[in-house]
Amino acid sequence: MTGPRETIRVPNVEVLRVTYELDSVMLPSNKRFVMSLALEVSGEDRYPVIDVGRCTTTGELQFRNPTLEELRFLYAVMKGAALLHPLLQQNYGAAPKWSRVIYFEPFIETVDVQWPAEMAKGNDLVAVTISYPPGRGYQEMYSSSSSSTPTKHSEVPKDETIADVKSNAAVCFRQCMLCKEEVNREQLVCCGHCSAVVYCSLRCQKQHWKEEHKDICGLYRAMMEREEELAMKIFTFACSAEQPCKWLESLGIHQKGMWRRKCSCYSHYPYGLLPIPGGLWDSWGGLDENEYPHDSPFHNHFRDGISSSILLSGWLEYYNLRSLPLTSPVADILSHPLTVYYILTALSISSKNLLLKNKEVVLHYLGPEGELDWMTAFAEIGHLLHGMGNIQIIMVGPEVPTNLSGTTSGIGSRVRVNLVRGLYQDEANYLPAPHIIVALNCGLGNYSSWGGALDLINSMKIPAYFTNESELSCLNGKQVLRSAGLHISYPVTPNPFRSPVRIFGNSTNFPSYSNCFLLGVNT
């Protein structure tokens, strides 16, 4: 062990040592290995060499070659440190004045490290947890933090300029159903029977009527008649986002916090890598203190002095429980985590029973996108569990960033989130077996990759729930599910935790809301 000015020889303690040797004495395989360790070359002709030093009881120093397991350990630690080191934030107030010692903010995170070819041994990955101060645990980290948002291993683009969307913000453009030409909102032509379909001209409308629309106009009209039923009239903020930027601006949250995913201004940032400050107030876009859920348990939900389970049936009940005003737009983002909670506690009897018995539920969450930047909102699931069991949410999808794949984050004490990049059918065999599968705003009819995932769900016989934005997307989704041999055991039903904010398709006017309808298979 090395002190400030001399080597302190501690008997029978082994240490890993790195020295630099001439290029001429290094084998090519050794060179590849040390480069994969991310060790730097000293000058142009020397490479690092690793050995193990030990001091005997007589004070003599002995050295030996490291075993493969020791090298694997060293590689994992160094690679993990290299990945997570940029996330350390210096704590300028903790260090004594004029001190050369650097202090950091408390930190703990886990990352999966992949072995190089020279070290492969059965498993390809090893989980490495790095904490500061050393020995800090997840429970300690998240109980003392003001926000339970997990740290993101992010490499965001250096250019933080915002995409120029002024032209689209001022004028709302839609797309003709037939010719796909963009048309100003003021120049739109809609079907006179159903009002569901948008055209650029009467000519396109008439042609589309003859070719296709005549046969389905009655169905579309029935879907449009559900507009009043689906609208959430309890809220007092503007609930129409035909022009997302303008809607966000009207609420004072445009280009702020998690709301950046609600318009195209930050679309150049990959999902999961949105630059969001760490504070809860910043994450919710600077809303007033009483307008967003705080990172705190529900102290007013006890029965005979014992915390009781919280079973919710709709937004009004939740807003009253959290003492939120109905002017608050947070339901638009909270729709994702509360839909998950509703499925677990109201629709899936088996999952609910596990939670009531204080056990863990493993949930496979397919195709995450914008919600990768909304982990702050998902912390609310942990508070709602309120004395019940734990949930492990494994988010799997091609939109998970490569440098986040394999990471695990604790959101509060009862919810753990794992991120995995890839198609579900390719990754499922490497994941813990699920109790339930969820896919929100899944667009089953829009992606060919769903085929393999649905075949797997059919063979697993695991309950799976899907949400879609409109009744038309549900209709298409049902056809896809049936083609995969799946029986729809939970019929299409309006989701009580759908977003209250109406969204608009490029070429249609169907009543559409995030997570609007629920349906399930194998339930």
Question: Does residue 212 sit in helix, strand or coil?
Answer: helix
Contacts (Cβ under 8 Å, ≥6 apart) of 180: 507
Question: How far is Cα 89 from Cα 101, in angstroms, rounded to an integer?
Answer: 14
Question: How far is Cα 372 from Cα 419, in angstroms, rounded to an integer?
Answer: 9
Strand partners, 114: 125
Contact 91, 85 (CB under 8 A): no
At 450, the amino acid letter reads W
Q: Which of 105, 85, 22 is nearest to 279 (CA)?
A: 105
- Determine phi and psi for 342, rounding to 5 degrees: -65, -45
Q: Percent of the chain beyond pLDDT 90?
A: 40
Buried residues in 91-100 as b, exposed as e (16+ CB within 10 A): eeeeeeeeee
The dihedral sign for the CA sequence 239, 382, 299, 314: positive
Q: Which pLDDT does position 139 carry in this prediction?
A: 42
Contact 70, 52 (CB under 8 A): yes
Tens digit of pLDDT for each residue in 234-244?
999 989 888 89
Q: Which pLDDT does position 25 carry in this prediction?
A: 64
Tens digit of pLDDT for each residue in 437-464?
999 999 887 777 788 999 999 999 999 9
- Determine phi and psi for 130, rounding to 5 degrees: -120, 130
- Determine phi and psi for 160, rounding to 5 degrees: -95, 25
Q: Give the helix, strand, coil percentages of the chain, each rounded to 5.
A: 35, 20, 45
Q: According to DSSP H, which parts of 37-127 are helical?
A: 68-84
Question: How far is Cα 251 from Cα 267, in angstroms, rounded to an integer?
Answer: 20
Q: Residue 29 above 80 pLDDT? A: no
Tens digit of pLDDT for each residue in 260-269?
999 989 888 8
Q: Residue 177 above 70 pLDDT? A: yes
- The whole model's pTM is what? 0.68
Mean pLDDT, the chain, whole residue set: 80
Question: How far is Cα 489 from Cα 486, in angstroms, rounded to an integer?
Answer: 9
Question: How far is Cα 437 from Cα 317, in angstroms, rounded to an integer?
Answer: 26
Q: Report which DSSP code applies to 127.
A: E
Q: Which pLDDT does position 18 carry in this prediction?
A: 72
The helix (run of H) or strand (run of E) holding residue 318 is helix 315-322
Mean pLDDT of 206-223: 90
